[in-house]
Structure 1
């Protein structure tokens, strides 16, 4: 058995002095300080998170490939570096797990498809390279839908990731494994990607934070379409400050990305505290009637308006004109899917998710006129949104149109009685924003009466990522919704609701290695 993909007997041994349980609930910034001051060792931190994965991952199925022995070896080396007084990166000793669509050198990367079930890349892609160079320690990979298509994390290789607040429901996607693992304390930081909501929707479903940065903020390499702005990579965490910390590491210019922004990542590493008094906030519960929104989501988010008003913001109900955004998103998404997967669909489409194959073939059917029209519409959309933000500092709206839906569904077939025509339609509150090029943050905003998380989406002007983070931080500090962790009323697959002090525990299963 390879030590890179199998947990060793040594790694499974109990620590002679188990670290305090709070190690898996501390923020990444707090952990980084404790490691840097040598109050706790990197090895203790990594072992605590490995123990947490062993305890809770079975029923949740968020971490699907584990490299425990490698992680402990790297943690030991990190402690030795600190003992020698060597240079320490901003993420020194912090455990992370990478999305299973992000290539990791020497660690299986399946993209959630049987076609790549045994794929082991020879190099890290850029976002992983930057995270590791900052001192983070890789624990493994987090679950995704097949080729990250759709916002429900289930695939034929590893199965479904369950929502840790109700194990009968979806964790969202495509960064669903990352979001669920963060919520459970399996690691404090995670990377993800977002085309139509894949950082934001799972953050909303799992009561964590996900940032879709402005295109080019987090450069991506290698890329089939390096000039494309629809798909981005970005950070996930349990707090806005931790998401900003990870952004400070993965953002910044790189010559391998032609759209990379020149602002250094360090611009996002400082304190986020700013007085929001006087900010002009536009509130749109349904994007001007463009999207149906579940009544429970509306009810939860209505209180967000009061929070911003209490913070001294000027809040008005308003929405930018989004005509053409749907066509822009669907056209460029289909084109990019065909560009990336067209040849694979032709050779092995019968072994892939039907809805994904359909989208790829839609891309093949596009004409030059279709792409021309989408390009013109996107330009007009950008300028309308730009002018909207001349009047407002930020737009707030639902991240997801629905609460977490039942696990057995591919997607909700209706929202508030409105039929959904395909597996994208219910995500319009997220993907219409993607088409604008604006940065968008999902931050915990409360819970439905049944205990399901709801996220608030905060959208800012193009390239104003720091503003969005500061507004999200102010909201987070005023509400503290993100501090409610699974186990405080979590529902198991059998429908039994666990009490506040019960663990939803292990099922005897472990991550695939």
Structure 2
């Protein structure tokens, strides 16, 4: 790969070439910064350009490398950080105009972990208002475009992260996920990701004035999006470094024990009363065949009701959000956002009072059923979305648009509610857009999920390469 195409290199390739002395951190970071400045005006994925500071930091890393070698496994790798977690000296507006001057006093632990591993932050990425939509647009920074075409959504809420990394603006993008915010954007753009399980990665914002609600604590996780599965794995190994700011984090090694014999995978294409689009059906069939070819024992088996659990997740989260955040959202959200939120409350009526407490209690029962299922089938291959990615503003096209995005996202929401890890990888390319599938796994077995995602990617191909051919 020529020096002027270094922005296309994977994080693994960059780390290896930098460690071998073939390229410098300055080379790698400069290439990504130049790419960012060339394409971001059309994509609007990065909303805070930190390129100059990043190049200066890369020079310091090169000096350190000359003395002592790499500072960590991500030495010199350019990354982006989503604008809803803290980075010292920069705003954490969460897509809200009123919060544009909320300056972080220190780095969030996830940022610290990546930087201590040697990663260099080149920019901060866009997110919708309150990070609460399935697409990425807000009055503060505007819309983030899908690099495949202008019609399609970039996904949400980590749409800036996914569009950035798929466009070559950094090799790894930080994102987070309370209901699908790593997986929706990855599906939209053809990226790879794994939503970590509860307790896997640290979460804390030094700028926060109060604690989040309990269900938000249980459902929300920090993670990464990358162009290929191996880069997700590389970044996750550094991202899980223990930080005591997060009471939920469990210090566990990334790799778990091997499973004896062929790994059993439960396979479902159940749309639970909705229509499954033929392109999604083809992606599922392809993913199944890829896993069989790779030696997995794939069995058609029906896991506990994902639609029911997804609806429980939405109504429980909305109940807590209504109780704790509604006044803030009404005061600082745009009129369009608040109309959208009204539709959400109609579609998934929030649990309140004793009903909310009972929904919290039922969560453990849902998780118990899934854990028993995962005891027999360590991995589960499911649809993610039931159709190709929707139009960029579909969720704000009245109640019907909000229903199309929200009601059909139950395979996503259910996994957040239970705190189970779930990966996403493209398995089809249809009408100019990638189609992703989901693989769910046991707690703290993101490694097994990524193994299976990689088995699919090995046969389907890395979707970013197809995108770069159009460059």
Normalised by the length of structure 2, the TM-score is 0.90
Aligned to 1:477: 458
Aligned residues of 2:96 and 2:332 also touching (Cα < 8 A) = no
Aligned to 1:341: 325
The whole-number CA distance in structure 2 between the counterparts of 1:208 and 1:87 is 27
The alpha-carbon deviation at position 306 of structure 1 amounts to: 1.7
Q: Secondary structure at the match of 1:282?
A: strand
Within 5 Å, give how 1:172-251 maps onto structure 2: 172-222=155-205, 223-225=211-213, 228-251=217-240
Within 5 Å, give how 1:100-115 maps onto structure 2: 100-115=83-98
Within 5 Å, give how 1:424-443 maps onto structure 2: 424-443=406-425
Structure with greater proportional helix content: 2
| Runs of 4+ residues deviating >6 angstroms | 274-277, 359-365
The whole-number CA distance in structure 2 between the counterparts of 1:378 and 1:471 is 27
Aligned residues of 1:113 and 1:352 also touching (Cα < 8 A) = no
Aligned to 2:142: 159
Aligned residues of 2:195 and 2:421 also touching (Cα < 8 A) = yes
The whole-number CA distance in structure 1 between the counterparts of 2:260 and 2:456 is 9
The alpha-carbon deviation at position 144 of structure 1 amounts to: 1.0
Aligned residues of 2:395 and 2:401 also touching (Cα < 8 A) = no
The whole-number CA distance in structure 2 between the counterparts of 1:72 and 1:238 is 22
Q: Secondary structure at the match of 2:62?
A: helix
User: How many pairs were matched up?
Assistant: 463
The whole-number CA distance in structure 2 between the counterparts of 1:365 and 1:400 is 23
Mapped pair 1:456 → 2:437: yes
The whole-number CA distance in structure 1 between the counterparts of 2:334 and 2:191 is 36
Q: Which runs of 5+ in 1 are unaligned?
A: 1-17, 489-499, 504-513
Q: Secondary structure at the match of 1:390?
A: helix
Q: Which runs of 5+ in 2 are unaligned?
A: 206-210
The alpha-carbon deviation at position 351 of structure 1 amounts to: 5.4
Aligned residues of 2:79 and 2:120 also touching (Cα < 8 A) = yes
Q: Secondary structure at the match of 2:262?
A: coil
- Decide which of 362, 368, 371 is 1:386's aligned counterpart: 371
The alpha-carbon deviation at position 45 of structure 1 amounts to: 0.8
After TM superposition, the structure 1 stretch with the greater mean CA deviation from structure 2, 240-249 or 422-431, is 422-431
Mapped pair 1:150 → 2:133: yes
CA separation of 1:144/1:346 partners in 2, compared to 1, >3 Å: closer, same or farther? closer
The alpha-carbon deviation at position 172 of structure 1 amounts to: 0.7
Aligned to 1:10: none
The alpha-carbon deviation at position 327 of structure 1 amounts to: 4.0
Aligned residues of 2:229 and 2:453 also touching (Cα < 8 A) = yes
The whole-number CA distance in structure 2 between the counterparts of 1:436 and 1:172 is 22
- Decide which of 310, 322, 326 is 2:310's aligned counterpart: 326
The alpha-carbon deviation at position 149 of structure 1 amounts to: 0.5
Mapped pair 1:260 → 2:242: no
Aligned to 2:446: 465
Q: Quote the RMSD (CA, aligned, Å).
A: 2.9
Aligned to 2:56: 73
Aligned to 1:495: none
CA separation of 1:411/1:429 partners in 2, compared to 1, >3 Å: closer, same or farther? farther
CA separation of 1:360/1:482 partners in 2, compared to 1, >3 Å: closer, same or farther? closer
Aligned residues of 1:189 and 1:237 also touching (Cα < 8 A) = yes
After TM superposition, the structure 1 stretch with the greater mean CA deviation from structure 2, 357-366 or 330-339, is 357-366
Task: For residues 127-165 of structure 1, give each alpha carbon's deviation from its aligned partner in whole angstroms, at most 9, with x where no partner exists.
Answer: 112111222111111111111112111111121111111
Normalised by the length of structure 1, the TM-score is 0.83
Aligned residues of 2:309 and 2:410 also touching (Cα < 8 A) = no
Q: Secondary structure at the match of 1:169?
A: coil
